[in-house]
A and B are shown apart, each in its own frame.
Chain A
Amino acid sequence: MIAIEHVDKYYGKHHVLQDCSTHVARGEVVVVCGPSGSGKSTLIKCVNGLEPFQRGKITVDGVSVGDRKTDLPRLRARIGMVFQLFELYPHLTALDNICLAPEKVLRQRRDVAEARAMALLKRVDLVEHARKYPNQLSGGQQQRVAIARALAMDPIAMLFDEPTSALDPEMIKEVLDVMVGLAAEGMTMIVVTHEMGFARKVADRVVFMDGGKILEDRPTDEFFATPSTERAKQFLSKILTH
């Protein structure tokens, strides 16, 4: 469903993505990991065109992201994205955060959008917080609202950009639980994360990046049992011993 083929990206002279290729099939969960600055977040932001890239090709459900003729807003409406810093709209309630895109992009009627939003809030266990503003919610609650906001567009795939990195430890679980549930339902997901427990549990494949390159792209069990590159071994030994 998502095909990344030989993608190169530069920030000025800095070569942040180097010949990156991978595929994600429908219903597949792929975890992208690697040290900070390795290009993980940049790579998934290329998938929905939030970041432009200079060479190579990315297609989502047959639509080329880099093509100038592609209607990017229309494509993005079909791909959900969750950010490290939640990025809820601070001037809107949790409910309105979720309803905005369905109303403005999908032209849903207010009552239709609201009913769907309430169902999603129920799903992430936040119904009683529907009328609260983001600054009245904890980090874990905000991130769950952000997931509901992305799901409200009925996406064909979800991108997660370090969804738990900004959370206190006790809130990480409530967010991961929602993501595990999504994976179990067959949602196609690309997840940038350092949560190796999550990766082991739900990922079909692990992509390991360093220095802008994809160094490993293998089934989860294989990756953890016998990482083939020295760099991945070092990385795993560092984050798994803590």
Chain B
Amino acid sequence: MSEFDFGVILRALPFLWQGMQLTLLLTVLAMMGGILLGTGLALMRMWAPTPFPQLAAGYVNLLRSIPLILVVFWFYFLVPLAIGRAVGAFPSALIAFTMFEAAYYSEIIRAGIQGVARGQLAAAEATGLTYLQAMRYVVLPQAFRAMLPVLLTQSIILFQDTSLVYVVGLHDFLTAATVVAGRDNRLVELYTFVAVIYLVLCVAASYGVRCLRLRFVQ
């Protein structure tokens, strides 16, 4: 490795792109699943009768106190045991990320809903809207605006965290680069390239979040 050869990256681009596709797919699916499940958890925690709030709180606290890599491992081995057959690395990783992220999303969503002034609910109910209508037309639209930037920031973290899927043998972007780096013995070039791509994507996403925040604050 006497001198840098960045041509190796060009030649490996199709392979790296495949890895990136897996990374993006996993990020988007886990984000959607996580927000959906997280909303359910948040609603359960705020309004369901006992013992559901306690269960939801327990779930959130448990998932937030376990390292992500352990959760990924755990589902890889646990899900096949639970359903009696192998499910493959991708579905198990997707379940792990969804369930893990849901714990974080649910706290963001809960804070967003609780941040809407109580008087808003009273005002909406005073006009004859039912509780659910007041939530749907008055409270949730405001809560969503407040929480959107934080939800997206959490999703940027998720995007980076998906690189952990190498432990169950999935070829995400980072893993693909590792393969090429090992094969061609070009570690510096490949890992630098990976870092730059992550940097560019995350900075761009953060910038987008900041623009959204500014638009909603005014």
Contacts and interface: CB of A to CB of B under 8 A. Distances in A.
B4 to A, nearest CB: 53
Interface in B105-151: 117, 119-120, 122-130, 133, 137-138, 141-142, 145
B150 to A, nearest CB: 18
A161 to B, nearest CB: 10
A105 B122 contact: no
Contact of A77 (B127, B138, B141): B127
A76 B124 CA distance: 10
Nearest to A87: B123
B120 A73 contact: no
A94 interface: no
Chain B interface, >50% SS class: helix
B68 to A, nearest CB: 35
A242 interface: no
A73 B129 CA distance: 6
Interface in A58-93: 73-74, 76-81, 83, 85, 87-91
A178 B124 CA distance: 22
Contacts of B126: 48, 50, 76, 79-81, 83, 150
A188 B22 CA distance: 66
B127 A91 contact: no
A87 B128 contact: no
B122 A83 contact: yes
Interface residues of B, number: 18
Interface in B133-176: 133, 137-138, 141-142, 145
B91 to A, nearest CB: 38
Contact of B122 (A50, A101, A150): A50
Given A73-B129, A73-B130, A76-B127, A87 B141 contact: no
A117 B145 CA distance: 26
Given A50-B122, A87-B119, A87-B122, A100 B141 contact: no
Contact of B138 (A45, A78, A80, A89): A89
A124 interface: no
B102 to A, nearest CB: 26
Nearest to A102: B127
A41 to B, nearest CB: 11
B119 A83 contact: yes
A76 B125 contact: yes
B120 A100 contact: no
A105 B120 contact: no
A51 to B, nearest CB: 9
B137 A100 contact: yes
A81 B127 CA distance: 7
A104 interface: yes
Interface in A133-172: 149-150, 153
A150 B142 contact: no
Contacts of B141: 91
B162 to A, nearest CB: 33
Nearest to A150: B127
Contacts of B123: 81, 83, 87-89
A154 B122 CA distance: 19
A224 to B, nearest CB: 31
Contacts of A153: 127-128
A91 B119 contact: no
Contact of B128 (A50, A85, A89, A101): A101
B142 A73 contact: no
Interface of A: 45, 48, 50, 73-74, 76-81, 83, 85, 87-91, 100-101, 104-105, 149-150, 153
Interface of B: 117, 119-120, 122-130, 133, 137-138, 141-142, 145
Given A90-B142, A91-B141, A101-B127, 10 more contacts: A50-B122, A76-B128, A78-B128, A87-B119, A87-B123, A89-B142, A91-B142, A91-B145, A100-B127, A104-B133
6 closest A-B pairs by CB = A77-B128, A87-B123, A101-B127, A81-B126, A105-B128, A87-B119
